[in-house]
Amino acid sequence: MGRQPSQLGSLDQLDREVPPEPATQESGQSGQSGQSGLPGGLTGAAIKPRLRGWLHAGMFPAALVSGVLLTALAGTLASRLACAVYTLSACLLFGISALYHRGDWSPPVRAILRRLDHANIFLIIAGTYTPLTILLLPDGSRELLLWGIWLAALVGIAFRTLWVGAPRWLYTPCYVGMGWAAVFYLPEFLHAGGVAVLVCVIVGGLLYSLGGLVYGIKRPNPSPRWFGFHEVFHSLTLAGFVAHYVGIALVVSQHT
């Protein structure tokens, strides 16, 4: 983790799926996006598992359709807007992630998509908070959390965009911390939304956090060729999203 000073190659290195090899000059002249041109075959090369990106590619249309449905069913203007923000953040997350992970991009495009992919994590966190906050929290807490979480998201996006080679141990806890801020609001979520909503919020949060942990420690890594730790991480984000979606749908149904 965070083994190298940031240089050009660090754009890619954080997503390397192969367990850290003695780093020769792996930071590899981002000349080849295929990353296998270095002497010694595997040394420092990134193997992109075959299933990389497919989960999010499949999730994109599902998130789009279910999000539009949710937005259409929302009863008030405020909840409709909140659901639209949530849907947009989900579509950006899964859509850009699918593009970034599936495509074989040139290094500059790859670098841009990577920044967007990471920035979108802040957006989905704030986007998920938005309907829950607007629909469940009383005046006062609502504004506080909404402003706080969007401000944190903007700061996070600036941080990830300006320092793209930041070590994983530094930025992964930022995501997790933003998500865990919800802990302070759980009693209010329970009070206004009920047990089922609370369970969905907690289960979703735990799944995302587990995903963050897998991403942070790069384990388990079941099959580096087909389904590596990054795919485990994607699966957990997907499961976390579904849990939160169900919770938000329940809340929306309570307010129609």
User: What residue numbers does the annotated binding site cover?
Assistant: 101, 230, 234
Q: Which helix (H) or strand (E) holds 194?
A: none
Contact 35, 17 (CB under 8 A): no
User: Distance between CA atoms of 166 and 114, rounded to whole angstroms?
Assistant: 13
Q: Which residue has the tokens 């994983």?
A: 168
Helices (H) and strands (E) in the chain, counts: 9, 0
User: Distance between CA atoms of 18 and 44, rounded to whole angstroms?
Assistant: 8
User: Distance between CA atoms of 183 and 69, rounded to whole angstroms?
Assistant: 28
Q: Any bridge partners for residue 223, and if so which?
A: 227
Q: Which two tokens stand for residue 188?
A: 């209010």
Q: Which residue has the tokens 């307010």?
A: 255
- What is the three-class DSSP state of 168? helix
* Binding-site annotation, residues for Zn(2+): 101, 230, 234
Biggest alpha carbon distance in the chain? 62
